[in-house]
Amino acid sequence: MLKKYLIRFGLLVLSSVFFVFYPALGSTKDSPLPVLNTKAKNIAVFKNGLGFFMREGTVRLNEGWAVTEYVPNSSLGSLWITSLDKDSILEEVVGFKEDVQRSFEAISIEELLGSNIGSKVKITYGDKIIEGTIKSVPEAREYEKGEGGRTDYARNVYDTRLQPKLAAIVIVDTGDGELVLNKSNILKVEFPKGFSASYLTKEKAKRIRFKVAGPKKEAKIGLSYLQKGMSWVPSYLINIEESKKARITMKATLINDAEDLENVDFFFVVGYPNFLYADVLSPMALEESLTQFLQVLRREGRQEDAGPQIPGWVHGSPRAR
């Protein structure tokens, strides 16, 4: 069953491979895109801590476009997105990060002040009481950017100039002027008219948007990838009650640190395969800078003194059977 599924999936991937690797990077969508929600259907589990996941989902399209908010930490060369509809072709795939706002309960004076900008406040600052309105609570500043807004990858990744600059001040409007306070010297905060305990923060979230060619308004999408965090261990019971016969029973213990799963078909692969780039994350995982990716790629390449390899495919011996 798994073999038939992989062959079918492979043929679908091959039909779109040329489009996947030549995306129109300048393409943007201003309006919110429909979100693809996928569910794991089949997983091939290897003994070396890797699992090959096959997910499926159906999504409505906006002029052929949709987006998935689920971006796995897949191994290099193993992440594939494809249309599972026979009359549709996946035309373009673009990985990106976007700002999303999340709400948390404030757990520090800094977060509490930041949650109540514009509110009246009474601050105990050393031996003084300061009353006014919270005007600004600056956040930590990101590392410096090079020309054109891109990171200057020529710099050393450990350069102190690339480290975030901590924010140490709070600005309060007292009515007579604006007062700049050091956060670390604030002892107590009072809100005469109540306050908000919810702290809003902006985070970078990983996304992958894709375009399906054709006039269809809906598409069935497949997402497959090789990911760490899953393994299995066999154990055997041998019954020798009969003098001339033995009954052997095998049990598979699944170890899952990858993600929550429900109603999934598992396939336990025997042998101990060697995936050459299993420890190298795909660029589409959006977890590393270009410099980090190239460094890891060179390191893994030096560790394997072998001929040309296809990232993500089995190499070495023994192979999975």
The rounded distance, in Å, linking the Cα atoms of 163 and 123 is 31
Q: Are residues 220 and 91 in the same domain?
A: yes
pLDDT of residue 21: 38
In-domain check, residue 275: yes
Q: Give Dmax over CA atoms of the chain in angstroms.
A: 100
In-domain check, residue 247: yes
Residue ending a domain, choose from 196, 223, 250 = 196
Residues contacting 213, CB < 8 A, separation 6+: 19, 64, 88, 89, 90, 91
Residue ending a domain, choose from 131, 162, 196 = 196
Domain CATH number, residue 167: 2.30.30.520
Write out the residue range of the structural domain in which residue 283 sits.
Answer: 2-98+207-303
61 vs 200, residue with greater confidence: 61
Average of per-residue pLDDT across 196-212: 88
In-domain check, residue 27: yes
The rounded distance, in Å, linking the Cα atoms of 63 and 308 is 40
In-domain check, residue 308: no
317 vs 136, residue with greater confidence: 136
pLDDT of residue 320: 38
In-domain check, residue 251: yes
Residue 253 burial (10 A CB sphere; 0-12, 13-18, 19+): exposed
Indicate whether 108 pLDDT > 60.
yes
Residue ending a domain, choose from 135, 165, 196 = 196
Indicate whether 152 pLDDT > 60.
no
Q: Are residues 87 and 211 in the same domain?
A: yes
pTM strictly above 0.75: no
Q: Are residues 177 and 239 in the same domain?
A: no
Q: Are residues 10 and 141 in the same domain?
A: no
**Alpha carbon of 320 to those of 93, 205, 258, 275, 288: distances in Å?**
30, 35, 21, 10, 29
143 vs 89, residue with greater confidence: 89
Indicate whether 316 pLDDT > 50.
no
Q: Are residues 112 and 91 in the same domain?
A: no
| Domain tally, the chain | 2
pLDDT digits 0-9 by tens, 265-275:
999 998 878 78
Q: Are residues 6 and 94 in the same domain?
A: yes
**Alpha carbon of 309 to those of 271, 276, 302, 319: distances in Å?**
20, 8, 13, 14
Q: Are residues 224 and 294 in the same domain?
A: yes
In-domain check, residue 141: yes
pLDDT of residue 297: 78
Pairing of strands 128-136, 120-125: antiparallel
* Confidence category of residue 37, pLDDT binned at 50, 70, 90: very high
- Across the chain, what does the average pLDDT equal? 79
